[in-house]
Structure 1
Amino acid sequence: MLDSNKDIVLDELNKVFDTIDNSQVDQMVEMICGAKKVFFVGVGRVLLMLQAWEKRLNHLGIDAYYVGEINEPAITFDDILIVGSGSGESIFPLSIIKLAKKYGAQTIHIGSNSESSMKPYEDLFVRIPCQTKLYLKDEIHSDQIMSSLFEQSLLLLGDMVAMKIVQKKDIKDLHLLWKKHANLE
């Protein structure tokens, strides 16, 4: 049973990553590297995936925070907000992207619904065309539970973006990144 589930998950992930627009990802990397600070917002399991991105960016020397954490600084026009929302209709992330634009920050929405309520506030939309609660006709069907495919794809995209940042920053000695890793473990 585990082997057949593994095949389903990996097959679905391959379908997703075959459809993601590389130019959108490259533009996202440029925006991240050009920002003073990077903020993330999402809800539920999506937020957990984005917190992994936040941690990885901090390892790479990029100041990153998630909205609501205790040491979150003010967002400014020098910063970017990355929103994770498959449907683009979740109330809290939608409210936060509006606020980020009010303060002049650039915004990136990573989701499946290119026509969501977030569209007027996006500087960049990166599409992960996974099945959402909206069941849009051009989303990749998933046999997994609820939005698992979107969440998995979001996490893996974060690691792929981190690899692109390492290449862009020409970080040769990956062992040095451990200096920024938590050591009170």
Structure 2
Amino acid sequence: MESKNMKTIIQELDKYSSGVSEESIQEISQTILEVNRVFVAGAGRSGYAARGFAMRLMHLNIRSFFIGEPTTPSIGKNDLLVIGSGSGATTSLVDNAKKAKSAGARIATITIYPEAPIGRMSDVIVVVPGETPKKVTNNMDTVKSIQPMGSLFEQLSWLTYDSIILNLMNLMTETTESMFPRHANLE
């Protein structure tokens, strides 16, 4: 017997995934290929999706770091900071964006609200439909999810990151087979 809730979630993802533009996927992919290193940040559940993205970048042999890890170096000129933030206003992530900008890095964001503080500092914006407890995006009229809080955004973020990875694989002529040797063997 199929799960009614799971089916509804998948229908929501199918409906709202069309709100993520292919042009923005292409633009962030090209930007990633132009920079020296990619730093990735996110908080809460959005941060878990961002962490998975940083891992896949590493599998593509792109120098990537997740902000907050003890081995993350300082960011600088010709680096990119990718921030996943539904609200675009999480204080710690806004602070990271300001520091990255002052160090000469470029910024990209995956967000519901491109007009929020992080979006206003970003060079590349990927708008992902979703809702936050305080307000609802209007990039696809009114988004209304049956799921709690930011779940729709978090799930669509993960799929957006994976779409970027697939795009990069194509641009870099990488395959699962060529990437697999970079997968962790100490776990």
TM-score range, shorter chain: over 0.9
More moved, 64-73 vs 134-143: 134-143
| Distance change >3 Å, CA 151–CA 37, structure 1 → 2 | same
Instruction: Specify the alignment match of 1:103 in structure 2.
Output: 103
Which runs of 5 or more residues in structure 1 are unaligned?
none
Q: What is the TM-score normalised by the length of structure 2? A: 0.93
Instruction: Specify the alignment match of 1:140 in structure 2.
Output: 143
Structure 1 residue 144: Cα displacement? 0.7
Instruction: Specify the alignment match of 2:158 in structure 1.
Output: 155
| Distance change >3 Å, CA 74–CA 136, structure 1 → 2 | same
Paired with 2:104 and 2:12, the residues of 1 have a C-alpha distance of 37
Paired with 1:174 and 1:66, the residues of 2 have a C-alpha distance of 22
**CA RMSD, aligned part only?**
1.4
Structure 1 residue 174: Cα displacement? 2.4
User: Kindly, what percent of the aligned residue pairs are identical?
Assistant: 29
Q: Does the CA-based 8 Å contact 2:114-2:120 persist in structure 1?
A: no
Instruction: Specify the alignment match of 2:171 in structure 1.
Output: 168
Paired with 2:20 and 2:185, the residues of 1 have a C-alpha distance of 35
Matched residue type, 1:161: I
Q: Does the CA-based 8 Å contact 2:130-2:136 persist in structure 1?
A: no
Paired with 2:48 and 2:97, the residues of 1 have a C-alpha distance of 18
- CA deviation vs aligned residue, 1:18-64 (integer Å, no higher than 9, x gap): 11111111000001111111011111111111110010000000011
Aligned residues: 184
Which runs of 5 or more residues in structure 2 are unaligned?
none
Instruction: Specify the alignment match of 2:122 in structure 1.
Output: 122
| Distance change >3 Å, CA 15–CA 106, structure 1 → 2 | same
- CA deviation vs aligned residue, 1:57-100 (integer Å, no higher than 9, x gap): 00000011111111101111111001111111110001100111
